[in-house]
Structure 1
Amino acid sequence: MLTLPPTSIKNWANFLAKRVVSKGKRVCEVVTQVTLKKVANSTGIQYSQAQFAVVGILDPEKAKEAKNYSDGIKVMTRKLEIMPDDYITTTVEIDSEEVI
């Protein structure tokens, strides 16, 4: 399971549509590589954006195991309630040299 920032959601959706589903696969049937790309917003603030690539196809047995794991995670996470305390509300200074 991977939590993505809002700045990477579009990349994930495009990856699923163009590289997985359009090839007749489900996300639990492929091996996905996640890398980070350094980008900047309109004001020049740099941040990392997730990039995705299919690097392998799971054999049917492993794909079934991955689907079972995914289904179990879905059951647990759908029951979770997100509370205001779950969010970080403090400002963090980040050294732009450390941004990937």
Structure 2
Amino acid sequence: MNIERLTTRAGARAFSQGRAVYRGARVPGGVVHDITAVLDRSYEVFDEDGVARRVTVMAVQVSQVPSSERGDTIERDGRSWQVIHTLEDDGHDRVLEVT
């Protein structure tokens, strides 16, 4: 999932792109400053029964954040988001469900 495609796909939904800080145990040095992070509050996912639900996601570039896992945090615009799990990773961009 390309970050540009995510922002295009989001259209009029509540999304925004901004600079962020990523913190995680498996991230080199434990923290990565000044990453690009796209927030989408209406990302649609489907459960194993095919039922759709909307979740909040943050898309990050793999080149800036080499690994992600549950419990990592993304700080952006004065708020801290906790990673639940990875929804998509195409080797270039990673879409993370956050809370």
- Alignment TM-score > 0.5, same fold: no
Smaller-chain TM-score bracket: under 0.3
Bigger share in strand:
2
Q: TM-score, normalised by structure 2?
A: 0.24
